[in-house]
Amino acid sequence: MRFVDKVVLVIGGNSGIGLAAAKAFAAEGARVVVTGRDPKTLESAAAAISAAAAAGEPALALSSDIGDVAGMDPVIDEVRSRHGRIDVLFVNAGIGAFAPIPEVTPELWDQVHGVNLRGCFFAAKKALPLMGKGGSIVFTGSIGSQLAVPGNAVYAAAKAGLRAVTRIFAVELVGKGIRVNMVSPGATETPLINRNVGMDAAAVDALRQAMISNTPMHRMGEPEEIARAVLFLASSEASFITGVDLFVDGGVIEL
């Protein structure tokens, strides 16, 4: 029960890691607000989070596309109206894209960076007025920002940029008592892997098998395993930790 009476905003909380984290926050007493682009998955996510809530408080689910910077304003306004503050911000929204360099277009680059870097930066920036001492921000990164994986230039560049953003947020906000960290998953079984731009089902399956074979633990991670790392960094247990990029990857980077 590390988050009793805490207000937690999960951006991109309608599936995968975001949903797993939102449910875990709710189970530990948080008042949870989640965003997502798909109204249908948002509705089911809100029900699942509310069912997991220790305090029985229903989750607030708001439709929002992180790639639309102005679209975050109604979310922040609603959180301000309902709760008056944000104690924990988990910026998890993202999209995938694999393409070899000759096939990378400006449109693909802008699409991925508009969500994974630009969108995440401005979402966090807009939340800051509701945050204060003791607050915590966690971004979702990727071990892809550290690895030279063929076809991953666009996605990796965006996540590497977000890693830099995380560290600079941490430096600029340390004086305000707000900690900022990143969790970088390895191969994780989430809907995102099936939505990689430009990949058909066979290519996605080949990618999954390649990731498993390159993971020392020889399996995919589960969203709940990544969520546990998110909750640790967001909690007071990590009170002397800021600016880190925590790899949760089955040993890929470490071994």
Q: Hey, which residues does 247 pair with through a beta bridge?
A: 184
147 belongs to the catalytic site: no
- Read off the tokens for 102: 């000759």
Please name the residue that has the structure tokens 């880190």.
244
- φ, ψ dihedrals at 35, nearest 5°: -125, 160
Sheet with 88-91, side-by-side order of all strands? 60-63, 31-36, 7-11, 88-91, 136-140, 179-185, 245-248
* 236-241 CB contacts, 8 Å cutoff, 24+ apart: 236/2, 237/2, 238/136, 238/179, 238/181, 239/179, 241/179, 241/181
Which one of 90, 139, 155, 247 is the catalytic residue? 155
Report DSSP letters for 125-170, one per residue: HHHGGG--TT-EEEEE--GGGTS--TT-HHHHHHHHHHHHHHHHHH
Tell me which residue of 86, 82, 92, 88 sits closest to 58, measured CA to CA. Answer: 82
CA dihedral 210, 212, 217, 221 (to 10 degrees): 140
For residue 171, the surrounding DSSP H or E stretch is: helix 153-173
Instruction: Write out the catalytic residue numbers.
Output: 155
